[in-house]
Amino acid sequence: MRQVNESVPQEFILLGFSDRPWLELPLFVVFLISYMVTIFGNLTIILVSRLDPKLHTPMYFFLTNLSLLDLCYTTCTVPQMLVNLCSTRRVISYGGCVAQLFMFLALGATECVLLAVMSFDRFVAICRPLHYSVIMHQRLCLQLAAASWITGFSNSVWLSTLTLQLPLCGPHIVDHFLCEVPALLKLSCVDTTANEAELFFVSVLFHLIPLTLILVSYAFIAQAVLRIQSAEGRQKAFGTCGSHLIVVSLFYGTVFIFYMYMQPGNSSSQDQGKFLTLFYNLVTPMLNPLIYTLRNKEVKGALRKVLGRQQ
């Protein structure tokens, strides 16, 4: 039985992949390159969407929010991971751990809601094209974006508070490369069944409800597109939704695989969970701007225009 430590720990040790030292250099290179691509890609989306008047539409307003979210998402974890990979002492301060936990929860929940909001925007654009500008007015767009961020951060306040109130046992070793709820719950000396139940409930709430809304939106979109007579019209309608569908599939596919593999008490599933968290936290934010840029003629045209001005 571990001894309860009532005092607040000064720091946590993040094990990460320390049991596989041969992975550290390759991971450092991959993390650094991915992080740089993520920063460049998402900043490009934000700047192009703001500089080109043709992109001052609800679709690109929400895309700007998604890019900002992805920037914050990777920045709250990747720099610390890079530092730890270069250090023999892989630690994070208590304050840093709290901040990382809070932001990781907040931004993950915000992205779930924001993807649902983006699907509603596509539903209105295709199913109510004549009323699109009336329905998706600037005030509603601001309200929907604000609701996404406020909902995500409110969820984080609740779960972070419940997790940080638990008494911790020494040594404060986190079997992960970041501070997340499941890893911190393992450090507690009290029964965490209630916390695990609440975490499961919130996870289902923030993943299942938005996903259901997305599926319903695209069911109506599919019906509307199939009623279009011309093949060119159908292709154009599907083209406006293609990038969002790929991003949603990437995001929720990773989430479902994560929950499928993360079985309690399984060391191999713990390692698989680390790699899946890496994909969820690093690869997805890196691919999102590439997906929207490569598949979107408007973004590519605006990017060429912006680059042409600066030459």
| Topology of the domain covering 8-310 | Rhopdopsin 7-helix transmembrane proteins (1.20.1070)
* Local confidence band at 264 (pLDDT 50, 70, 90 cut-offs): very low
Band the pLDDT of 265: cuts 50, 70, 90: very low
Helix axes 138-164, 94-127, angle to 10 degrees: 150
Could you read off the pLDDT of 238-254 as tens digits, one per residue?
Answer: 777 888 888 888 888 77
Nearest of 72, 82, 96 to residue 24 by alpha carbon: 82
Report the C-alpha gap between 65 and 51 in whole angstroms: 15
Q: What residue spans define the domains of the chain?
A: 8-310
Cα separation, 143 vs 246, whole angstroms:
25
Indicate the pLDDT class of residue 17, thresholds 50, 70 and 90: confident
Band (295; pLDDT cuts 50, 70, 90): low
* Alpha carbon 280 to its chain's center: 7
| Mean pLDDT for the stretch of residues 190-217 | 86
Whole-angstrom Cα distance, residue 247 to residue 296?
A: 13
Is the bond preceding residue 264 a cis peptide, omega within 30 degrees?
A: no
The two beta strands, 11-14 and 91-93, are antiparallel
Both tokens of residue 221?
Answer: 């979109």
**What pTM did the predictor assign?**
0.87
Which residues neighbour 216 within 8 Å (Cβ) at sequence distance 6 or greater?
A: none
The 10s digit of each residue's pLDDT in 77-94 is 888 888 888 877 788 888
Q: Look at residue 310 in the predicted model and tell me its pLDDT.
A: 55
